[in-house]
Structure 1
Amino acid sequence: MVPLYTIISAYLVVSTFSFLVKNTTADNIVCYYVPGKIGPEDLDPSLCTHVNYAFVHLNEDGNLVIRSQYLDITKGFYKRTVALKERNPMLKVLLSVGDTAATVFSKVAASNVTRRRLVESTVHFLETYSFDGLDVDWEKPTPDDADNFVNVLRDLRKAFDSRGWLLSAAVYPNPSAGYNVVEISKSLHMINLMCYNFYGPWGTTTGQNSPLFASPLDTPYERANLNVAAALSQWLRAGAPKDKVNVGVPFYGRSFALASSEEHGLHAPIKGAGSPSTPSYSEICTEFKNWTTVWDKDQKNHYKYTSTQWLGYDDEKSMRYKARYVASQGVAGMMIWQISMDDVEGKCTRKQNLLKVINEELRKSNQFPFDIKVVHV
């Protein structure tokens, strides 16, 4: 291993500097996959270290429930996704339990009986369909759920260890939302930090879906919470081990309906969601070409706008910045939601362009200069 040299400030300051990055530990590339038009056969499994199949549902009795009998079983998406390991023997394919009401997770986690049933049901699913582990996507536990979430993960891990299975969880950017970070870290092999959906139509202004750094236009709260660097800093300070944290990035953007054609910058007033509200990278690169495009040098993201709509998104340039930043922080790797939203068919770029960008940056063995602006919290 080659040491990574960085200077990190513990204070809330904004600093611009250049440094040399040498990737040493960012090995994981966790790829969430949702079955649909893009089949597993369309994907290059060598570009992922893990594939998380999304989703299987959970009911209030603690049983896992097939989400779509037609897709998962009849069309064989379970089997076809697991078969990606034939083309990449090092690949691990996990089943992700999610797309389920938070109240259901809360009820199951609160009872010894339903937790035991969840473990039994999970073991049955993983053995039956040959998955390599479980990813828990509870969106999201409350502070009242924190202890029960610890218990759920502990029970699952006990059953997994003898079988060699992996256990991961997708978590919100704010660790105080409902996580005992130190305790859940003991049970989890990987912590998939969802660094997206920072802004959306639930707010009153435009904002980047996944800004890497803060903007000078941000409020103090936004600077300290609503960007990738801040979220990662919070989780690490809360006790998450670096070698378990995967920084999540989106292969989609978020659009807004502008309140006025005269205001179209960052934090411009909005009147709701744009259309489509969450376009994929593939859609953005093919269908939004005529929109005015602006590079935000502070947040390291592009945005596009018309007289009526605004779109914040990631592309090749912003994804390179994110991957380089992740490499500089010495964490486990990156997570993607979700890989079928990439330009899989190569309509306007090379096939699976964003995923290849991440691979290129995390796999670099040479040093390179990287100018960044960081908000330290």
Structure 2
Amino acid sequence: MSRYTAFISLIFVLSLILPTLIQANEQNHVIIGYYAGWTPLNHFNPQSVTHINYAFADVCWDGKHGNPEASDGGLLPCTDLHGKEQNDIPNGTVVLGAPATDLANLDKLKAFKKVNPQLKTLISIGGWSWSMNLSLVARTVETRKRFAESAVTFIQTLDMDGVDLDWEYPVGGGMRNNHHDPSDKQNFTLLLQEIRNALDKAEQKDGKKYLLTIASSAGLSYLENTELEKVAHIVDYINIMTYDFNGSWSPITGHNAPLFEDPKAVLYEVHPHHVAAAVKGHIEHGVPPHKLVMGLPFYARSWGNCNPEDEEQLLENGGYLPCSGNGGGNLEPGTYDYNFLEKHVINQNGFKRYWNNAAKVPYLYSKEKREFISYDDPDSLKEKVHFITENALAGAMIWELSEDDQSQTLLSTIRNGLDLPEPETTQHPEERPSIIWIYFIIIGTLLVIFLLRVRKSK
């Protein structure tokens, strides 16, 4: 009887441990990575992130989608979800942005989910180039409903887990020919609620949990042009695009994504806004920290023809040099990815690395090339991830995943800072034992041992 009691007690203890073991695999913080459809995603471990937002889908309007001012070919014919051109797609329908590459990439996302069954994939709609008609979509009940229902059809057809709305931007901003209206402020909320309603209906039908997120601006005007407190009640996460504070569009160098304000930025009349202020602004406008995700750039901004009048001068603490136009770039003029910087630029080829201790970000400068580069590296990401944990934010968002190096140095820095376990070596899902099966194997083994001992005692 004592052996029986001991065995039952052991089973009871293990039954208590199992949920704990499973929860140990669950991650409290999120790492949301954007997968840009136009850039191959190589050397990537799907277990390194919790969510992938695929960028971008668009909306059909008058039989076309796109933007005539964009660099991706302007207006394009709308297609169905198999990539076939259709002439009768109603206004406001969510459509593939680039079918020739999207369908293959979305199949790759399905493969990622086999490697990492906990991975959530979302379709991101809009973006900088494809937000032209979102104001029109949001203006009527009919087009809001059509957008929402077609977004749900999109994610169900392509086996995805949610919708990310990247409207750049309601009321004002974005590309010059984007449609805007003062009613965008309220209509943005209504559009999100319609999407949430459609997702809820889909959940009831297929029993699957669907996510709704947005990409928000770090700009001050965005806080006034949206109803963030209402939006926060509707969505699961708000991903702040806390980057592009400065770039070669400014005649004075600054930082792409300064964490904190540098007094010298004010002194030299550089845009003084920064990541911490953007986060604070969202919270003050009603967004709870546990729904707020901080954006982290894996790319750099560069300026050319810097400091033309004094070749020897290098102002400390961030440069703040007069420049004109773009510097170099492997992505486009004025833009590098971190992978390229690490291989070819940082403390190489005439560039020297400096650190702005006020803004908590690095920068590079070459006197010979007269080029200034603002970027993020493991040191600055450690500071930013510490800010995330100290302020109880939901996690980190990355633009974008292909720009890390082959070792995923930046992603590893983020995971370590968020106390997430190192991702396993990528292998096929059937090769990875399930913790639940391990539990049942242990229980089964103990049961066999117990029965043999009982039989032997008889």
Answer yes or no: is the 8 Å Cα contact 1:242–1:330 preserved in 2: yes
Distance 1:263 1:338 in 2: 34
- The alpha carbon displacement at 1:224 in A equals 9.5
Partner of 2:73: none
- The alpha carbon displacement at 1:43 in A equals 1.4
Counterpart pick for 1:92 among 104, 120, 126: 120
1:239 has 2:286 as partner: yes
- The alpha carbon displacement at 1:256 in A equals 0.5
- The alpha carbon displacement at 1:70 in A equals 1.4
- The alpha carbon displacement at 1:287 in A equals 1.7
1:49 has 2:61 as partner: no
Q: What amino acid is aligned across from residue 30 of structure 2 in structure 1?
A: N
Partner of 2:381: 319
Q: What amino acid is aligned across from residue 219 of structure 1 in structure 2?
A: V
- The alpha carbon displacement at 1:124 in A equals 1.4
Q: Could you list the per-position Cα deviations for residues 20-59 of structure 1 after superposition, in whole angstroms to 9, with x for gaps in the alignment?
A: xxxxx9601111111355336x311211111111111123
Answer yes or no: is the 8 Å Cα contact 2:353–2:364 preserved in 1: yes
More strand by share: 1
Partner of 1:135: 164
Give the TM-score, by structure 2 length.
0.69
Alpha-carbon spacing, 1:221–1:363, altered in 2? closer, same or farther (3 Å):
farther
Q: Could you list the per-position Cα deviations for residues 254-312 of structure 1 after superposition, in whole angstroms to 9, with x for gaps in the alignment?
A: 00111524454422111112121110000111121230211111111111111321000
- The alpha carbon displacement at 1:114 in A equals 1.4
1:269 has 2:322 as partner: yes
Q: What amino acid is aligned across from residue 255 of structure 1 in structure 2?
A: S
Aligned-residue Cα RMSD (Å) equals 2.1
- The alpha carbon displacement at 1:89 in A equals 1.2
Q: Which runs of 4+ in 1 moved over 4 A?
A: 220-225
Answer yes or no: is the 8 Å Cα contact 1:214–1:222 preserved in 2: no
SS of 2:265's equivalent? coil
Aligned residues: 332
- The alpha carbon displacement at 1:176 in A equals 3.6
1:206 has 2:253 as partner: yes
Greater Rg by CA: 2
Q: What amino acid is aligned across from residue 52 of structure 1 in structure 2?
A: N
Answer yes or no: is the 8 Å Cα contact 1:26–1:326 preserved in 2: no
SS of 1:125's equivalent? helix
Partner of 1:8: none
SS of 1:85's equivalent? helix
1:280 has 2:310 as partner: no
Range that drifts further, 31-40 or 122-131: 31-40
Distance 1:70 1:336 in 2: 25
Q: What amino acid is aligned across from residue 86 of structure 1 in structure 2?
A: K
> Where do 1:56-67 residues align within 5 Å?
56-60=57-61, 61-67=91-97
Answer yes or no: is the 8 Å Cα contact 1:92–1:132 preserved in 2: yes
**Larger RCO: 1 or 2 (CA < 8 Å, sep 6+):** 1
Partner of 2:146: 117
Alpha-carbon spacing, 1:26–1:330, altered in 2? closer, same or farther (3 Å):
farther
Partner of 1:354: 410
Alpha-carbon spacing, 1:221–1:86, altered in 2? closer, same or farther (3 Å):
farther
SS of 1:279's equivalent? strand
Answer yes or no: is the 8 Å Cα contact 2:246–2:271 preserved in 1: no
1:309 has 2:371 as partner: yes
Q: What amino acid is aligned across from residue 212 of structure 2 in structure 1?
A: L
Q: Percent identity?
A: 33
Answer yes or no: is the 8 Å Cα contact 1:32–1:54 preserved in 2: yes
Range that drifts further, 260-269 or 146-155: 260-269
SS of 1:93's equivalent? strand
SS of 2:299's equivalent? coil
Structure 1, unaligned runs of 5 or more? 1-24, 346-350, 366-377
- The alpha carbon displacement at 1:217 in A equals 0.4
1:71 has 2:124 as partner: no
Q: Could you list the per-position Cα deviations for residues 141-188 of structure 1 after superposition, in whole angstroms to 9, with x for gaps in the alignment?
A: 126211010000000001112422100000001354221111111111
Distance 2:267 2:160 in 1: 44
Distance 1:174 1:36 in 2: 26
Q: What amino acid is aligned across from residue 93 of structure 2 in structure 1?
A: N
Give the TM-score, by structure 1 length.
0.83
Structure 2, unaligned runs of 5 or more? 1-26, 62-90, 173-181, 204-208, 422-458
Distance 1:69 1:139 in 2: 22
Partner of 1:370: none
> Where do 1:282-297 residues align within 5 Å?
282-288=339-345, 289-290=348-349, 291-297=351-357
> Where do 1:216-227 residues align within 5 Å?
216-219=263-266, 226-227=273-274
- The alpha carbon displacement at 1:82 in A equals 2.7
Alpha-carbon spacing, 1:364–1:53, altered in 2? closer, same or farther (3 Å):
closer
Distance 2:251 2:271 in 1: 19
Answer yes or no: is the 8 Å Cα contact 1:26–1:334 preserved in 2: no
- The alpha carbon displacement at 1:87 in A equals 1.1
Distance 1:321 1:358 in 2: 10
Distance 1:160 1:264 in 2: 54
Q: What amino acid is aligned across from residue 192 of structure 2 in structure 1?
A: L
SS of 1:56's equivalent? strand
Q: What amino acid is aligned across from residue 250 of structure 1 in structure 2?
A: P
Distance 1:35 1:158 in 2: 28
Partner of 2:452: none
SS of 2:163's equivalent? strand
